[in-house]
Amino acid sequence: MTERYYVVREDLLPEGILKTEQVKELLRRGEAATVHEAAERIGLSRSAFYKYKDGVYALEQTSRERIVTLSMDLEHRSGVLSKVLGTLAASEGNVLTISQSIPLQGLANVVVSVDTAIMSGELAELVDKLRAIDGVKRAIVVGRG
């Protein structure tokens, strides 16, 4: 079955869904240390929180929370991958996974999954910066979501 998504005005949502997002907000802001503490403060059972937590997001959160997969061909020489990772860090991209192939004919393919939720700048700018690194022969976005 294909997942379907809806945008629903807040006043039409059931209380449990609204409170789930409030608990998540307390945790995001660091105003509660645990799910138990946040749920208790909001007046939501932990079981209701865990039931809804993976399916409830404020609209502004969904636009910020993005995972992007980048594929790059890098020259097999010291420091190239380090420069790529430094560029991602400077843009505030959070690297989730790195997979590198064995170098063939002097090039290694590197696939990096990056959480761009708090990344500064646009994704296209980041890809341009990666392409400009000496030793990066190709950099493309291969997936989003």
Q: Where are the domains of the chain?
A: 10-63, 66-144
Please tell me the predicted confidence (pLDDT) of residue 140.
92
Q: How far apart are CA 143 and CA 99, in angstroms?
A: 15
Q: What would the mean pLDDT of 113-118 be, rounded to a whole number?
A: 83
Please tell me the predicted confidence (pLDDT) of residue 123.
83
Q: Left (φ > 0), alpha (ψ -120 to 50) or beta: where does 30 sit? A: left
Answering whether pTM is above 0.85, one says no
Please tell me the predicted confidence (pLDDT) of residue 53.
85
End-to-end Cα distance, the chain: 18
Q: How far apart are CA 72 and CA 110, in angstroms?
A: 5
More confident residue, 62 or 29: 29
Q: What would the mean pLDDT of 60-64 be, rounded to a whole number?
A: 54
- Percentage of the chain beyond pLDDT 90 is 53
Domain 66-144: give its CATH code: 3.30.70.260
Tell me the per-residue pLDDT of 70-81, one tens digit each, with 9 for 90 and over. Answer: 999 999 999 999
**Side chain identity at residue 128, one-letter code:** D
Nearest to 129 by CA among 143, 114, 144: 114
